[in-house]
Amino acid sequence: MPCRSSEELDGLVREAKKVTKHGKVANYIPALQKGNRDDLSVAIYHADGTCLSAGDIEQKITLQSISKVLSLALALMDCGEECVFNKVGYEPTGDPFNSIIKLETNHSRKPLNPMINAGALAVTHLIKGVNVEERLERLISFIRDLAGHNVITYSLEVAQSEFETAFLNRSLCYYMKQDGIIDEDVEDLLDLYTKQCAIEMDCLDLARIGLVFAMNGFDPVREKQIIPVEVARLCKTFMVTCGMYNASGEFAIRVGIPAKSGVSGGIMGAVRNRFGIGIFGPALDEKGNSIGGIEFLEMLSKRYELSIF
Amino acid sequence: MPCRSSEELDGLVREAKKVTKHGKVANYIPALQKGNRDDLSVAIYHADGTCLSAGDIEQKITLQSISKVLSLALALMDCGEECVFNKVGYEPTGDPFNSIIKLETNHSRKPLNPMINAGALAVTHLIKGVNVEERLERLISFIRDLAGHNVITYSLEVAQSEFETAFLNRSLCYYMKQDGIIDEDVEDLLDLYTKQCAIEMDCLDLARIGLVFAMNGFDPVREKQIIPVEVARLCKTFMVTCGMYNASGEFAIRVGIPAKSGVSGGIMGAVRNRFGIGIFGPALDEKGNSIGGIEFLEMLSKRYELSIF
Amino acid sequence: MPCRSSEELDGLVREAKKVTKHGKVANYIPALQKGNRDDLSVAIYHADGTCLSAGDIEQKITLQSISKVLSLALALMDCGEECVFNKVGYEPTGDPFNSIIKLETNHSRKPLNPMINAGALAVTHLIKGVNVEERLERLISFIRDLAGHNVITYSLEVAQSEFETAFLNRSLCYYMKQDGIIDEDVEDLLDLYTKQCAIEMDCLDLARIGLVFAMNGFDPVREKQIIPVEVARLCKTFMVTCGMYNASGEFAIRVGIPAKSGVSGGIMGAVRNRFGIGIFGPALDEKGNSIGGIEFLEMLSKRYELSIF
Amino acid sequence: MPCRSSEELDGLVREAKKVTKHGKVANYIPALQKGNRDDLSVAIYHADGTCLSAGDIEQKITLQSISKVLSLALALMDCGEECVFNKVGYEPTGDPFNSIIKLETNHSRKPLNPMINAGALAVTHLIKGVNVEERLERLISFIRDLAGHNVITYSLEVAQSEFETAFLNRSLCYYMKQDGIIDEDVEDLLDLYTKQCAIEMDCLDLARIGLVFAMNGFDPVREKQIIPVEVARLCKTFMVTCGMYNASGEFAIRVGIPAKSGVSGGIMGAVRNRFGIGIFGPALDEKGNSIGGIEFLEMLSKRYELSIF
């Protein structure tokens, strides 16, 4: 295990845990419900390869919305900026992540950005491959590369559970199909998308991937550019402007670290040229972000002046 | 053929035809595109069984949105007012017939009324039967009964064509499935709905069905109450408040006759205790109503003071 | 007093009163708050000049939104249909009466119809006169003519109270001024509008005015056409499609009588060629309509088959 | 004049000017219309007190929306974070800067952020002082302090012109007054706000103020903390998430420098710990930002890797 426990992190985590009682564990699918409300674990992966942790960082969680950043990176590498932003916009939105309204009212009919569900579906649509299996395989390979090891896969149970109840995502997909934003079979796209969301990893993996973004796409451990600089920067921009659902603006002010959260309670963060952050805390606030995770990040950012602003 | 040509109607139709050049024939599916822009035909079926006509009233058209009134009548007969209005509201809307916005913003999450697409889908969902075939069979039987003859069926070509491209209706269905408004398989519902919209008849049939509504559900020809009085009245109310898409308010003012239009260029009208009206004029105005048909109805209503207001 | 008490009406009113306990008296200005929740009074004015009543029909109430129909009639007489519908649309809306959204999203920027606040303000804007005083004088004269007597005026207390807190109406006015829908001084328009809303009368007056609409603009008592037939009909159409706020669709189904309600608890109704109805019941349902008044009208309409549908 | 012309800047400006022909000079008030479409001038103020320029940097422009950042800083200093964010939210929006929709639909009724008009008005409302004159005086003093000299004032001509036609801003104010977001006299607030927007300065002033933000509130020239660190950081966060109207997301990706634009064609930018930027280029793109200014900033950011991401 390359990550050693840190007393300082332990202290911050203990402090941050005080707010978890105000949060709620997601319960829309049985698998997520199993999370323990008061859990909070953190891994911090430095550019020199050392790692600090607090809590049980080996617990596996599904990526959920965190995967939106990774599929965006791959789609940008697969087909380029122009191709991607032909399907999805750049702008943050005050609407909820699953809102359909702007698809009807927005002049361009494009989803506003790649971090809301509609936009993420349009991005996953662009991942290359001859079929769902190959596209998923390519995405998982990419993520394994980012995390630096080969045992990452997805939870079939979570994927199936989400696939069966993904009515709203189906609605978004068909609306976009009507407008020519996507043109593949909707069930295929949802199959791929729900599996993407169900990819599992632990905090250490999240931190390691965060580190690659922190280094602008470069993996300092294996000394390898995995994501082009421009793509990594672009992804981090969306993490800042839209990474925490419609609490992104407040998070930018209180924390100021590029980060992406998921409904499983995970957060991946990237502190430029310094370290990646992986957090797991299943108690969510009302906007759907890990309540303990945000509290931790705010304390960390203040103590070490990590805000990009 | 029970319907004789009328010089007076001919005159009105000739006059009304002057506006057809400002309209456009629907072209979103090949079958509709075949309509001749300058066609306009009218049948008027009186309570005494006599019928007057102008133009080629034997041309078959698909019901399209006109079917929404008929499925509403059947659903009300199948499961009652409370059951129907548990799924769909009573209120007119200023939004387009295919808008999805109110499904997200409306507090109750119900479609606003049974004449917009979302509402019509929720209504068709309630038609009883063990499977799509039986439900379609029951609807067609009901419509045959209303029209007074047994040769009415649907156009497989039109139904298939619409089924394949019904992405927006799929989007509406899945959105409603998310909210528990509908709980059946969406493809099944769309199969039934697109076949319902593709039911074919001629102007005479439309006029005959209009007559049944005009007589509050009673068929004066065969002396038989086909629709309960309350149901017929309720359907006519929706024809007035929401029957002509989002030109219903203007139509109520200019014409004031309960009527329902379809994108094929058909209109069915009902003048209380007097007669039913069937119109076919494929040139549509910008709101999607037969431009010649509306012109004709306005002249007819003014000449004979037919407005209910 | 020309109106005699009727046992039958008394019975219906007693029955209808059972629901008043579920309503609430409007309290946004002190003057309205004084209403007694369990009051319900009704006057029915027949074409032959006879009148039936139940309850205390001499209690004065302010017209509030009922005035929207009367200002519409006067504006149509002042400047014609084309001029009026250049400023305001014909279509019902599913949005609340005080919503501003459609002013921004609607392509034409016109308020959707003359019964929502924005539309009513645009209509009052069109009442002719060299200044507010003359325009108000003309409106009051018109209403006195409709009611058949000369003692109608407005409540200065209510007008002032509403004027001071009419922030939302000011917002609507300035939005429309931005779009060129209105071009007069906003404070002037609000002065006129709040006085219009504060015009006071009793149930008998309401019934008498309803009778004029019922007779398509003709006052059968003084044998005089006060409103042109076309204007009266047009007003009744809006009473049906938009007269009861966003419960108009349900009211059309359950009652089917052209009627307009106000937040003071008043309702004016018109049964074609037969009688006018005046109601006062200050307990409102959640949509802002007199809860007892609607209950009464539903019973009356069912018993005498008064629905226009 | 402390600022010397730079050949390198000249080159970038010459290159950036190529796009000005695709822009349009604002024309909603006469004073703005005078701008020359092909003008583009830039000043860059370094932390060491040196300054580089290109173009005519002594031309005076009105701040317009750039003032929103400065009034936000003063309001935060006047009444604190909690007080300010009790009136206005933190979140970016996909809606236009002058949209009113979210005031009605947003659960909290607060304007989404301080960079849209509604939010900026709510912020200016919080600037302390016994009357408009004193509040304006305090704001201007603050801005003089930021710019390091005492001759800054506002254009009475521009302020009056905007005050007279500020119907939409009046509409926003009254809507917020209805909801208790603001409670002062609307005309007073607009008087103050339009004067705030009409404050005039040149590019050099803009660059000098940008430098203070770049140094987190510290003026390195006079060695003085003018804005508390936290306030300066908070303002820069909003400049990134919402500073360029609804092109902020794209600007964050293409440029990544905290910046705020105004409809006069000005842009103020802040590169952390390095320099402030002042730009004037009156030709606007369709989103309302200086088209040449953005082009210049993109080239500058790419060449010197200035993005914060």
Question: What is the per-residue pLDDT across D60-118, written as a single tens digit (0 to 9) for each?
Answer: 999 999 999 999 999 999 999 999 999 999 999 988 899 999 999 988 899 999 999 99
How far is B212 from B270, CA to CA, in rounded Å?
Answer: 8
pLDDT tens per residue, range D132-145: 999 999 999 999 99
How far is D229 from D243, CA to CA, in rounded Å?
Answer: 19
Please name the amino acid found at residue B35: G
Structure confidence at residue A112 as a pLDDT band (50, 70, 90): very high
Both tokens assigned to C2? 């020309």
Range A90-96 average pLDDT: 91
Name every chain C residue with its beta carbon within 8 A of the beta carbon of B288.
none
Are D199 and D140 within 8 A, CB to CB? yes
- pLDDT at B2 > cutoff 70: no
- Exposure string of A133-165, with b = 16+ CB inside 10 Å and e = fewer, is eebbeebbebbbbbbbeeebebbeebbbbbbee
Record: contact A93-D90, CB cut-off 8 A: no
Record: contact D178-C167, CB cut-off 8 A: yes
Name every chain A residue with its beta carbon within 8 A of the beta carbon of D236.
309
Record: contact A101-B105, CB cut-off 8 A: yes
- pLDDT at B61 > cutoff 70: yes
Name every chain A residue with its beta carbon within 8 A of the beta carbon of B178.
167-168, 171
Name every chain A residue with its beta carbon within 8 A of the beta carbon of B173.
171
- pLDDT at D279 > cutoff 60: yes
Pairing outcome for strands C24-25 and A283-284: unpaired
- pLDDT at C147 > cutoff 60: yes
Range A241-251 average pLDDT: 95
Are C53 and C3 within 8 A, CB to CB? yes
How far is B253 from C231, CA to CA, in rounded Å?
Answer: 10
Are C203 and C53 within 8 A, CB to CB? yes
Fold of domain D3-61+201-302? Beta-lactamase (3.40.710)
Per-residue CA distances from A134 to A127, B154, C202 (Å): 10, 42, 77
Chain C residue with Cα closest to D170: C174
Which residue of B162, B174, B190 to mutate against A (max A Cβ within 10 Å)? B174
In what helix (H) or strand (E) does residue C267 lie, and over which residues does it extend? strand C266-271
Structure confidence at residue C220 as a pLDDT band (50, 70, 90): very high
Q: Out of B24-38, B171-185, C241-255, D160-174, which region has the weakest mean confidence (pLDDT)?
A: B24-38
Q: How far is A309 from chain D (nearest CA, A)?
A: 6
Residue the block writes with tokens 């932390």 = D47
> Smallest Cβ distance to D252: which of A89, A241, A249?
A241
Record: contact C171-D175, CB cut-off 8 A: yes
In what helix (H) or strand (E) does residue D225 lie, and over which residues does it extend? strand D224-225
- Exposure string of D60-69, with b = 16+ CB inside 10 Å and e = fewer, is ebbbbbbbbb
CATH code of B3-62+202-303, in short, is 3.40.710.10
Helix (H, G, I), strand (E, B) or coil at C205: helix
Record: contact A307-D95, CB cut-off 8 A: no
Record: contact B171-A168, CB cut-off 8 A: no
Per-residue CA distances from C159 to A32, C189, C275 (Å): 58, 13, 30
**Is B90 in the active site?**
no
Record: contact C94-B94, CB cut-off 8 A: yes
Q: Which residues face C44 on adjacent strands? A: C52, C277
> Quick one: how far is CA B303 from the chain centroid?
24
Name the class of domain C3-61+201-301: alpha beta
> Smallest Cβ distance to D178: which of C104, C168, C177?
C168
Per-residue CA distances from D308 to A51, C166, C307, D272, D304 (Å): 25, 47, 68, 9, 12
Structure confidence at residue C32 as a pLDDT band (50, 70, 90): confident
Q: How far is B85 from chain A (nearest CA, A)?
A: 23
Say what the pLDDT of residue D294 is.
98
Are C69 and C235 within 8 A, CB to CB? yes
More confident residue, A85 or A149: A85
- pLDDT at B188 > cutoff 60: yes
Q: Residues of B at the A interface (Cβ-Cβ below 8 Å)?
A: 99-101, 103-105, 167-168, 170-175, 177-178, 186
- pLDDT at C1 > cutoff 60: no
How far is A104 from A98, CA to CA, in rounded Å?
Answer: 14
Both tokens assigned to A20? 């978890």
Record: contact A175-B178, CB cut-off 8 A: no
For residue D307, the 8-state DSSP code is -
Range B72-79 average pLDDT: 98
How far is D278 from D214, CA to CA, in rounded Å?
Answer: 12
Question: What radius of gyration, in Å, describes the C-alpha atoms of chain A?
Answer: 18
Out of B25, B67, B186, B193, pick the active-site residue: B193
Say what the pLDDT of residue C46 is.
97
Q: How far apart are the two ends of chain B, measured CA to CA in Å?
A: 34
Chain D residue with Cα closest to A245: D91
DSSP codes of every residue in B25-65: E--SSHHHHTS-TT--EEEEEETTS-EEEES-TT--EE-GG
Pairing outcome for strands C218-219 and C224-225: antiparallel
Q: Please, which chains are in contact with B (at least 3 CB pairs closer than 8 A)? A: A, C
Record: contact A172-B167, CB cut-off 8 A: no
- pLDDT at D272 > cutoff 90: yes
- Across the beta sheet with D266-271, the strand order is D3-5, D51-54, D41-46, D275-280, D266-271, D259-261
How large is the angle between the packed helices D167-178 and D186-197, nearest 10 degrees? 130
Q: Which residues face D279 on adjacent strands? A: D42, D267
How far is C191 from C164, CA to CA, in rounded Å?
Answer: 10
Are A207 and A58 within 8 A, CB to CB? no
**Domain spans of chain D, in order of start:** 3-61+201-302, 65-197
- pLDDT at B80 > cutoff 70: yes
Per-residue CA distances from A39 to B238, C259, D127, D184 (Å): 55, 61, 44, 48
Name every chain B residue with its beta carbon within 8 A of the beta carbon of A29.
none
More confident residue, D33 or C133: C133
CB atoms within 10 A of CB B153: 15
Say what the pLDDT of residue B132 is.
98
Q: How far apart are the two ends of chain C, measured CA to CA in Å?
A: 34
Chain D residue with Cα closest to C172: D171
Range D211-227 average pLDDT: 97
Say what the pLDDT of residue A94 is.
85
Out of D193, D195, D255, D290, pick the active-site residue: D193
Record: contact A174-B171, CB cut-off 8 A: yes
Which residue of B104, B172, B181, B182 to mutate against A (max A Cβ within 10 Å)? B104
How far is C298 from C304, CA to CA, in rounded Å?
Answer: 10
Fold of domain C65-197? Probable Glutaminase Ybgj; Chain: A, domain 2 (1.10.1500)
Out of A41, A65, A71, A301, pick the active-site residue: A65
Helix (H, G, I), strand (E, B) or coil at A208: helix
Chain C residue with Cα closest to B307: C233
Name every chain C residue with its beta carbon within 8 A of the beta carbon of B216.
none
Range D167-175 average pLDDT: 97
Say what the pLDDT of residue B92 is.
94
Question: The domain A3-61+201-303 belongs to what CATH superfamily?
Answer: DD-peptidase/beta-lactamase superfamily (3.40.710.10)
How far is D194 from D173, CA to CA, in rounded Å?
Answer: 13
Record: contact B171-A167, CB cut-off 8 A: no
Name every chain C residue with its beta carbon within 8 A of the beta carbon of B256.
233, 237
Residue the block writes with tokens 């009922």 = C66
Name every chain D residue with its beta carbon within 8 A of the beta carbon of C101.
100-101, 104-105
How far is A245 from A222, CA to CA, in rounded Å?
Answer: 32
Say what the pLDDT of residue D2 is.
67
Which residue of A169, A174, A179 to mutate against B (max B Cβ within 10 Å)? A174
Range C21-29 average pLDDT: 91
The rounded percent of chain D whose pLDDT value lies above 70 is 99
Q: Residues of D at the A interface (Cβ-Cβ below 8 Å)?
A: 89-95, 102, 106, 112-113, 233-234, 236-238, 240-242, 246-250, 252-253, 256, 258, 307-309
**pLDDT averaged over every residue in chain B:** 95
Range C80-101 average pLDDT: 94
pLDDT tens per residue, range D41-65: 999 999 999 999 999 988 999 999 9
In what helix (H) or strand (E) does residue D163 lie, and over which residues does it extend? helix D156-164
- pLDDT at A11 > cutoff 70: yes
Residue the block writes with tokens 């920067």 = A233
More confident residue, B192 or D106: B192
Both tokens assigned to C281? 């019941």
The rounded percent of chain B whose pLDDT value lies above 90 is 90
Are D243 and D304 within 8 A, CB to CB? no
Structure confidence at residue C2 as a pLDDT band (50, 70, 90): low
- pLDDT at C28 > cutoff 90: no
Record: contact D94-A93, CB cut-off 8 A: yes
DSSP codes of every residue in B163-210: HHT-HHHHHHHHHHHHTTS--S-HHHHHHHHHHHHTBEE-HHHHHHHH
Per-residue CA distances from B243 to B73, B98, C97, D283 (Å): 14, 14, 22, 48
Record: contact B178-A168, CB cut-off 8 A: yes
* Whole-prediction pTM: 0.95
Name every chain D residue with its beta carbon within 8 A of the beta carbon of C172.
171
CB atoms within 10 A of CB C38: 14
